[in-house]
Amino acid sequence: MRERIPGKINSQSIMKQVVDFKGLVFGKISPTDIDCFIDFGNKLFVIVEAKYNDAQVPFGQMLAIERLCDATHNPPNRYSVSFIVSHKDAGNIDIANATVRKYRINKKWHDPKSSISLYDAIKLLKEMYGIK
């Protein structure tokens, strides 16, 4: 059995499979996906949606991300932050180096004051909330 490396895609062929949601449509409600979720010991949740260049996040997907972030944000015991990031990768997406376009915390969306990678933004959050 191959060793699993955290954060590494272990099977490119499985990642290329399309998940078909058409059997889960309930009236006007249909599933959405989230590109990344990180749980730092139930103290900080990070939710990430990545888009190519400046592609917009569809309304329903944005609403789902907002609701999930807001529902799990419960200071001072738990913080939840959502990020919308952009990438220019044509092949595999290096999500750590994607650029943060906006982030949500305390039930509000914010624009970053300067260009920052997703990795650096998460690192700052961990420092801010004292998470190792």
Confidence grade of residue 16 (pLDDT, cut at 50, 70, 90): confident
Query: In this model, does residue 13 exceed pLDDT 80?
Result: no
The predicted-structure confidence for 86-98, as pLDDT tens digits, reads as follows: 999 888 899 999 9
Flag whether 71 is in a domain: yes
Flag whether 7 is in a domain: no
Residue ranges making up the domain that contains 89: 32-116
Flag whether 59 is in a domain: yes
Dist CA 24 CA 46 (whole Å): 26
The predicted-structure confidence for 56-80, as pLDDT tens digits, reads as follows: 999 999 999 999 999 999 999 999 9
Name the domain count of the chain.
1
Flag whether 48 is in a domain: yes
Dist CA 69 CA 28 (whole Å): 22
Q: What is the mean pLDDT of residues 2-11?
A: 63
| Sign of CA pseudo-dihedral 69, 75, 78, 79 | positive
Flag whether 4 is in a domain: no
